Chain A
């Protein structure tokens, strides 16, 4: 869907850019933000965070595209500017949205802030679940899912809700950097922010903390080095599973009820992973990671293990050897015992 949508709607910003002289458009955004990016002049309710807005795809549309009725006199005219309806531009979402339980229960604005829209690749699993948590209380959800889901607390903490409540056929493993909240030996981990990583990286771009050679591709060796480096002691990679495509259907999927949808070796989607690093604008940038091996290697991602999925081949072999070792004694001894049975039967055994 994402691909098609992008193509289908590319003309929109283009058209808008053509119908306004570029300079005016930029001016307009800046004009509006002159007041609306200033808490003191408009107050918390009407505050628009320019830092975030400027990095959204909506910024290219310009404020006026969605607030068409705003006048030269605003705000002195006392009129409330019009607000665009999302579906006017995003009709493709409607098919799915209208068929979901949320059509009656949650509007676009309940999950999206029009001034902070992000694509799926730009948000963390944590952010995604915040959207849902506004209505679906976290503790209550753990309780409801625990009826059938072992370690529901773990699943819901590590997975975006939409990994299971989605119509997307494919999934992808996404790695994030997390860090200890404090220096205490025994501490909780939180998602690292751009500033944290920038501080550690010093002069270089934060991606170079992992991507040592700067080729924007993360190899197994680079991951291992990252985890072994003492300076990174408080950093870890955390992995989650995300759908590849956004859908607005959240109906309960039968195949998610079946654990082996995820817990089985083989699904292609489990072999590809990306590293998502926070950007200064508060979104995420993704980097391709070496296929497959990452998940299997002990120090590639020491904290990511999915039962039945990411088992290590070398450990399997070692385990098998141990078990075979256990059968050698019975087999060898048993054979000799059989051959020498006469010695004992003479004793009346």
Chain B
């Protein structure tokens, strides 16, 4: 048996952001569904309440997005390293990681990627988070901001193509985020034990196996 070692993987601002964001996005998905389908869904009270909740949750997600963004760009200054896939990631990493998830994982092999504070994400994660944090979330927030200020921003909305296009975009982006949630939560259970990946997002510390030279020497 290899020795276990603790590394500090998730700094506090990132954890705060993550759980605010998680709570916000789940709330947004459920309240959003009720707003679109009021006659089928009435989980969260009447329409007025659910609109208020949706707007508040949207605000919270926008704020937490800023925490995340400013933490990585101004405080930690490692946004690029963590989120941008490297050349090697693109050429070999993606394939290697996909092979693990869809083949060698089932054979019981080890995860080829070993997270460190500077290299938290495997190549697949990097690409997925890049798309989500730099395209999906900003776009869904932006369309949301427009939709909560229709009267003052009407001219802008018309320029974009109209309210319907805007709403359609907001809806499809939201569906994509919701779809991502399922995959995200599931993949998080693929650690050494089903809860292994959840712990560091709560306490900050991840348990890694000492025999792992690559990780230890980083």
Contacts and interface: CB of A to CB of B under 8 A. Distances in A.
Interface string B28-47: 00000001111100000011
30 contacts: A150-B55, A151-B151, A185-B159, A188-B155, A236-B158, A260-B38, A265-B37, A265-B38, A265-B39, A298-B168, A303-B162, A305-B164, A305-B167, A307-B36, A308-B36, A308-B39, A318-B172, A319-B171, A319-B172, A323-B175, A323-B178, A324-B179, A326-B182, A327-B179, A330-B183, A333-B102, A343-B108, A344-B108, A346-B108, A349-B193
A157, A305, A343 — which one has the most chain B CB atoms within 10 A of its CB? Answer: A305
A329 B164 contact: no
Nearest to A345: B108
B80 interface: no
Given A260-B38, A315-B168, A322-B179, A349 B151 contact: no
A20 interface: no
B134 interface: no
A119 to B, nearest CB: 29
A343 to B, nearest CB: 4
A39 B34 CA distance: 59
Given A318-B172, A330-B183, A333-B101, A298 B46 contact: no
Interface in B141-156: 148-152, 154-156
Given A263-B47, A304-B164, 12 more contacts: A148-B48, A153-B152, A236-B158, A258-B46, A260-B47, A302-B162, A305-B164, A319-B174, A326-B181, A327-B182, A329-B186, A340-B108
B195 to A, nearest CB: 13
B46 A154 contact: no
Interface in A256-286: 258-260, 263-266
Contacts of B101: 333
A11 interface: no
Size bracket of the B interface = 35 or more
Contact of A326 (B46, B150, B180): B180
Interface string B96-115: 00000110011110000000
**10 nearest A-B pairs in the assembled complex, by CB-CB distance:** A326-B179, A302-B162, A330-B186, A343-B108, A259-B47, A319-B175, A154-B151, A340-B106, A153-B151, A322-B175
The listed residue with most A CB atoms (<10 A of its CB), out of B152, B156, B171, B179, is: B179
Contacts of B190: 337
Contacts of B150: 151, 154
Contacts of B165: 298, 302
Interface of B: 1, 35-39, 46-48, 51-52, 55, 101-102, 105-108, 148-152, 154-159, 161-165, 167-168, 171-172, 174-176, 178-183, 185-186, 190, 192-193
Contacts of A316: 36
Interface centre among A185, A265, A319, A343 (most CB of B within 10 A): A319
A313 B73 CA distance: 41
B183 A326 contact: yes
Contact of A302 (B39, B164, B174): B164
Contact of A151 (B148, B164, B168, B183): B148
Nearest to A156: B151
A318 B35 CA distance: 18
Which of A187, A260, A312 gathers most chain B CB within 10 Å? Answer: A260
A334 interface: yes
B168 A312 contact: yes
A187 B155 contact: yes
Nearest to A187: B155
A150 B38 contact: no
A305 B182 contact: no
A336 interface: yes
B48 A298 contact: no
A336 B106 contact: yes
Given A154-B150, A329-B186, A343 B106 contact: yes
Interface string A290-315: 00000000100111110110011001
B37 A308 contact: yes
A189 interface: yes
Contacts of A185: 159
A80 B46 CA distance: 58
A304 to B, nearest CB: 7
A247 to B, nearest CB: 25
Contacts of B163: 302-305
B38 A264 contact: yes
B86 to A, nearest CB: 25
